[in-house]
Amino acid sequence: MEKEVTIYDIAKRLNYSPATVSRALNDHPAIRSDTKDVITSMARQMGYRSNTFASNLRRQRTNTIGVIVPRLNSNFMSCALAGMEKVANEAGYNLIISQSLESARKEKANAKTMFDSRVDGLLVSVSYDTEDIEHFDDFINKGVPLLFFDRVIEHNQCPSIVIDNVKAGYEATTHLLEQGCTRLMHVTGNLKRNVYADRLKGYRMALQDRDIHYEKQLVLETDLSQEAGVEAARQLMAFPHRPDGLFVTNDLCAVTCMGQLKKAGLSIPADVAVVGFNNDPVSQVVEPNLTTIHYPGREMGEIAVKSLINHLNGLMDMQTTNTIILRSELIIRASSLKKAH
């Protein structure tokens, strides 16, 4: 492997002191512009690379923020990461992004890598099967700020950013009931996670408020994949007393389920009214357009990074905040408007 060029190599070649070379490469005002030009030109010619990692370590700052997410292939996560990237770049920070692939084991490995990389702070949305956050203890003990977003685990030293998932679940269910649905099926994700447990809670509260009996067999816990959408449609059609409303906590799964129901000859929303979740682009491509909950992913990403950087710069103390709750919104489209049919 070829040896890295150092400021000492450049200094030796040009017969300058290493201090002069260092100052010139850092655009120090004490160095004349013609001297800077000579030194930067030679540095380029010799293939010199600035060792920002080493210089940042001297300042006890790496200007990097770690991000661990369950999966990168969701529209919500893409939006959240875009928001993070924007704010981080504007503040002179870089992101190191990794995915747990819904595995607690991989999440633990990712956390160790982030800690060993000396990230200045860490943002985490936990995997499906994460039971505890012991693997983040190194960050907490070392005083490295840790913030959970979307899928969170409560910890008194780690703030969270979420939407009010109970309220969102309640609004989605209430809307279907107001459209005249009397039997609602709920397709959700892993109920260990706050987002899905809270949406189920909202669903149950809406039924209770209208004196509708909660039927456990109408709640389908899945991985919210397209395959899960196919299976949900199969199960819905297998009920002797078929549900006439469907609340799915993910748009892609909802759209796949709608496709299967239509293939089976059911009309949406006349036979089954459908509400999804996330306001993914696919919700406006499917016919009829999908009623959904708008989830502010980009804003969540922006606020997460702003909070972390403000904490690092001493402008706020994250530990005085337990939870930041962002607004969601029910967007009504044709897939649920049973009364119009």
pLDDT-above-90 percentage for the chain: 73
Q: pLDDT tens across 177-201, in order?
A: 999 999 999 999 999 999 999 999 9
User: What's the pLDDT at 320?
Assistant: 72
CA 341, CA 334: separation in Å to the nearest integer?
10
Q: In angstroms, what is the C-alpha Rg of the chain?
A: 26
Report the pLDDT value the prediction gives residue 22, as an integer from 0 to 100: 86
pLDDT of 59 higher than 60: no
CB 35 within 8 A of CB 15: no
| Model pLDDT, residue 26 | 81
Residue 5: the pLDDT is 82
- Note the pLDDT of residue 52: 55
Closest CA to 341 of 283, 276, 272: 272
Per-residue model confidence (pLDDT) at position 135: 93
Q: HEC states along the chain?
A: CCCCCCHHHHHHHHCCCHHHHHHHHCCCCCCCHHHHHHHHHHHHHHCCCCCHHHHHHHCCCCCEEEEEECCCCCHHHHHHHHHHHHHHHHCCCEEEEEECCCCHHHHHHHHHHHHHCCCCEEEECCCCCCCCCHHHHHHHHHCCCEEEECCCCCECCECEEEECHHHHHHHHHHHHHHCCCCCEEEEECCCCCHHHHHHHHHHHHHHHHCCCCCCHHHEEECCCCHHHHHHHHHHHHHCCCCCCEEEECCHHHHHHHHHHHHHCCCCCCCCCEEECCECCHHHHCCCCCCEEEECCHHHHHHHHHHHHHHHHCCCCCHHHCCEEEECCEEECCHHHCHHHC
pLDDT average, residue stretch 28-47: 88
Check residue 93 and give its pLDDT.
93
**Distance between CA atoms of 9 and 304, rounded to whole angstroms?**
42
How confident is the model at residue 208, as a pLDDT? Answer: 97
CATH topology of domain 165-295+330-340: Rossmann fold (3.40.50)
Residues 110-144: tens digit of each pLDDT:
999 999 888 999 999 999 989 888 999 999 888 89
| Residue 340 pLDDT exceeds 70 | no
pTM: 0.80
Residue 173 confidence (pLDDT): 98
Average pLDDT of the segment spanning 215-244: 95
Per-residue pLDDT at 278 exceeds 80: yes
Mean pLDDT of 50-54: 59
Q: Where are the domains of the chain?
A: 7-50, 63-162+297-326, 165-295+330-340
Average pLDDT, the chain: 91
Same fold, 7-50 and 63-162+297-326: no
Average pLDDT over residues 300-313: 92
Neighbours of 36 (CB within 10 A): 17
pLDDT at 28: 84
Q: According to the model, what pLDDT value does residue 46 have?
A: 85
What is the homologous superfamily of the domain 7-50 according to CATH? lambda repressor-like DNA-binding domains (1.10.260.40)
The CATH class given to the 63-162+297-326 domain equals alpha beta
217 to 54, 58, 152, 236, 326: CA distances (angstroms): 58, 59, 27, 10, 32
Mean pLDDT of 272-293: 96
Query: Where is average pLDDT lowest: 44-48, 172-176, 266-270?
Result: 44-48
Whether the pLDDT of residue 43 is over 70: the answer is: yes
